[in-house]
Amino acid sequence: MDWLTIIGLLAAACTTAAFVPQVVRSARSKRTKDISLAMYSLFTGGISLWLAYGLLLRNIPLICANSVTLVLALAVLRLKLRYG
């Protein structure tokens, strides 16, 4: 594995992990009033496109980061729709 891929994977891990506290907090508190539905909807669409881009390029850091981030963003979006 080359150093560029390692940097990409480390960046992916950091930016993806940043969503975990929001998912955990929203799930525990069942409060999502201050979360923007428009922002998370747009963000989820963008992450889906980044994932498609990564798949087309066969770029492992893009695929890993955006797969996990998509799951986390969808979780927040689901919680927002459920608890509003």
Question: What pLDDT, on a 0 to 100 scale, did the predictor assign at position 12?
Answer: 86
| Three-state secondary structure call for residue 73 | helix
Question: What pLDDT, on a 0 to 100 scale, did the predictor assign at position 44?
Answer: 95
CB atoms within 10 A of CB 79: 21
Question: What pLDDT, on a 0 to 100 scale, did the predictor assign at position 32?
Answer: 92
Per-residue pLDDT of the chain (84 residues; tens, 9 = 90+): 889 889 988 988 998 899 899 999 999 999 999 999 999 999 999 999 999 999 999 998 899 899 999 999 999 999 999 998
Q: Which of these CATH numbers, 3.40.120.10, 1.20.140.10, 3.30.200.20, 1.20.1280.290, describes 3-83?
A: 1.20.1280.290
